Structure 1
Amino acid sequence: MKVLLTGASGWLGRFLAPRLRAAGHEVVGLDIAPGPDTQVLGTVADRDLVRDAVRDHAIEAIVHGAALHKPDIARYDEQAFVDTNVTGTLNLLRAAVEAGHGRFVFTSTTSMMVSDRVRAGTGEAAFWMDEGFHAGPPRNIYGMTKAAAENLCALFARLHPLDVAILRTGRFFPEEDDTHRELSGENMKANEFLHRRLSAGDAARAHVLALERIGGLGCETFVISAPPPFARDEAGELVRDAPAAIERHFPGVRGLYAARGWALPRRIERVYDPAKAERVLGFRCETDFARVLAALRAGEPLPFDHDPAYVPPKEPA
């Protein structure tokens, strides 16, 4: 297929464009920032630019990864989030329908399931977050606009012959967490593979599989994250004594962490459940917590990206 990839110059795009080509697809990149895989320079909020890109490049399917993200809240106002994340998605859906496309893949986020209640993390058990999870409205403009864009995807799939895969991805950004700094960046990322993170390569692979396998399924939503080692009946223990639960699944992990000067999470207050993606799409992350520990034991490079100096291409260095 000839695929329009939005956000082609961004972090996901740099992994996704080559994977799409390796799978036999022709990629036309669209991004507000220049990059090696970007042929169309501009914003998805520009309806004419989106329509012309789809028409002029004879696009057959769209993978929509362009967005303002949570760290952008410090840089952009609410209207910019609405313009990019909501209006931009609407423009692409309209262009897809006008062109007679049958497939549309939308990069969403697990953040749209994170309400103030989830963020507080004061419950007696970890929240088990699958596609049907809801504990209140999203807590910020990022989550709000992604939820609105998901609803647009569902509406267009219902009104038109368009199959849509909504991928609620966990964390895969390379930079430091913009809120929590109590642990080193590598330590925090390693811990997150227990319950809320995946590698950028796995995120890209999920998009390719969704594009190829969503045909005939209508509109489906998938949580995309490394498979957690825990069962639902361990949710209470995860908030009471997460290290004990982790040690039970990974004997010797405390010593391995101590040798590196790392700390296990004291509490795990949410767990993302990607079981549906494995069941429906046949997708399972290749990088998980067990692989992180294997790299530590072998003294090999960690199997995830960590770059505290990373700056998105759309921002000045």
Structure 2
Amino acid sequence: MSQPHRVLLTGSSGWLGRFLAPMLRREGHEVVGLDVVAGAETEIIASVADRVSIERVFADHCPSCVIHAGALHKPDIVRYRAQSFVEVNVTGTLNLLEAAVAAGHKRFIFTSTTSLMIRADVRAGAAGGAKEAFWLDEEFGPLRPRNIYGVTKLAAEDLCRLYADLHGIDALVLRTGRFFPEDDDTDGSLPGPNLKANEFLNRRLTVEDAARAHLAALDAPTGLGFQTFVLSAPPPFVREDAAELVRNAPGAIARHHPDAAELYAQRGWKLPDTIDRVYDPAKAERLLGFRAHTDFAAILQALRADRPLPFQHDPDYVSPIVAAGGDPL
């Protein structure tokens, strides 16, 4: 483990923050939690978009590293105007970067999203004529986010890149796959636990693994500069499976997990007919030493042993800011 840090953790009242803050403390780090709404892990109620508040936090608490996990997210699009996304996700990131550089920080960790990689043709997938699954690693492009959430997260990534170039800091961007606990707000085709289990094949990780990835970024060797990392459970597939995944996903799954269909049938579940995107987390394993603990094999093992599923599912979850009826600014 690296030397202990006093970590300024933004988004500390959120779903990731409530898992990440205790992990940081168990590893010997101090945590200063900042969010716009109260929470068990939050000491400071303030918006990252408020430059004066951020400067005061740095003056009063003297953090040695920032983990910037606070943001407006994709479901917030229906609740808040586009300008709020710019102020929170872009201006807020800029405020933190400037304060971190002024304080002499050597590392800045930014929680981003794989959502910004899902341009229109990726979203359409096989229905849009794709003949093979899109393989989404850090080299995938061009990036053309399809909503204000993705646009502002990509802009914030570019700010991280700029400040790494200008000031020589390590700016580590973690593009997390799905780890939200609630049901999918755009796909009700399957029961929530079935859909989440399927997503461990290609696009999901547990919230606990997402938190562990941030610890790995904090402990990573110095001198990495600007880096992006796709985070997901390691898929069972290889790139050579890409065409079959679109044409016959159950066949590809059976080759890697022969009893998956039977285990699913016992629970009344359904495997995906088509998989049209695969997130590749190999770079995080190579440079950060991070590999998700929970993968699709772990899901199947739980089904075999009739144990609880190894991921969080809460169809009634709402974000703290929504529950509080709060203002993101």
TM-score (structure 1 length as normaliser): 0.99
1:16 has 2:49 as partner: no
Alpha-carbon contact 1:195-1:270 (below 8 Å) kept: yes
1:108 has 2:97 as partner: no
Alpha-carbon contact 2:232-2:280 (below 8 Å) kept: yes
Q: Counterpart in 1 of 2:216?
A: 209
Give 1:91-170 correspondences, 5 Å limit.
91-121=95-125, 122=128, 123-170=130-177
Give 1:1-317 correspondences, 5 Å limit.
1-121=5-125, 122=128, 123-316=130-323
Give the counterpart letter for 1:292 in structure 2.
I
Give the counterpart letter for 2:305 in structure 1.
A
1:316 Cα deviation after fit: 2.5
1:215 Cα deviation after fit: 2.0
Alpha-carbon contact 2:77-2:149 (below 8 Å) kept: yes
Give the counterpart letter for 1:42 in structure 2.
A
* Alpha-carbon distance between aligned partners in 1 of 2:142 and 2:314, rounded to the nearest angstrom: 33
How many pairs align? 317
Give the counterpart letter for 2:202 in structure 1.
H
Give the counterpart letter for 2:63 in structure 1.
I
1:136 Cα deviation after fit: 4.3
Aligned residue for 1:164, secondary structure, equals strand
Alpha-carbon contact 1:118-1:135 (below 8 Å) kept: no
Alpha-carbon contact 2:110-2:171 (below 8 Å) kept: yes
5+ residue gaps, structure 1, are none
* Alpha-carbon distance between aligned partners in 2 of 1:252 and 1:101, rounded to the nearest angstrom: 50
**Structure 1 runs (4+) greater than 4 angstroms displaced:** none
Alpha-carbon contact 2:116-2:143 (below 8 Å) kept: no
Alpha-carbon contact 1:198-1:288 (below 8 Å) kept: yes
* Alpha-carbon distance between aligned partners in 1 of 2:264 and 2:96, rounded to the nearest angstrom: 46
Alpha-carbon contact 2:132-2:246 (below 8 Å) kept: yes
* Alpha-carbon distance between aligned partners in 2 of 1:135 and 1:88, rounded to the nearest angstrom: 25
* Alpha-carbon distance between aligned partners in 2 of 1:316 and 1:309, rounded to the nearest angstrom: 11
Alpha-carbon deviations, 1:239-270, whole Å to 9, x = none? 00000110111111111101111100010000
- Pick closer, same or farther for the CA change 1:54–1:42 going to 2, 3 Å: same
* Alpha-carbon distance between aligned partners in 1 of 2:81 and 2:246, rounded to the nearest angstrom: 35
* Alpha-carbon distance between aligned partners in 2 of 1:264 and 1:38, rounded to the nearest angstrom: 40
1:161 Cα deviation after fit: 2.9
1:285 Cα deviation after fit: 0.2
5+ residue gaps, structure 2, are 325-329
* Alpha-carbon distance between aligned partners in 2 of 1:56 and 1:124, rounded to the nearest angstrom: 56
Give the counterpart letter for 2:200 in structure 1.
F
Alpha-carbon deviations, 1:47-78, whole Å to 9, x = none? 11111111210110000000011111111111
* Alpha-carbon distance between aligned partners in 1 of 2:118 and 2:283, rounded to the nearest angstrom: 19
Q: Identify the range of structure 1 (222-231 vs 207-216) with the bigger mean alpha-carbon deviation.
A: 207-216
1:230 Cα deviation after fit: 0.3
* Alpha-carbon distance between aligned partners in 2 of 1:211 and 1:48, rounded to the nearest angstrom: 26
1:135 Cα deviation after fit: 4.2
Alpha-carbon contact 1:31-1:43 (below 8 Å) kept: yes
* Alpha-carbon distance between aligned partners in 1 of 2:228 and 2:323, rounded to the nearest angstrom: 34
Alpha-carbon contact 1:117-1:135 (below 8 Å) kept: no
CA RMSD of aligned residues (A): 0.9
- Pick closer, same or farther for the CA change 1:55–1:75 going to 2, 3 Å: same
Alpha-carbon deviations, 1:289-309, whole Å to 9, x = none? 000000011110100000000
Q: Identify the range of structure 1 (302-311 vs 215-224) with the bigger mean alpha-carbon deviation.
A: 215-224
* Alpha-carbon distance between aligned partners in 1 of 2:149 and 2:221, rounded to the nearest angstrom: 26
Alpha-carbon contact 1:85-1:149 (below 8 Å) kept: yes
Alpha-carbon contact 1:109-1:146 (below 8 Å) kept: yes
Give the counterpart letter for 1:173 in structure 2.
F
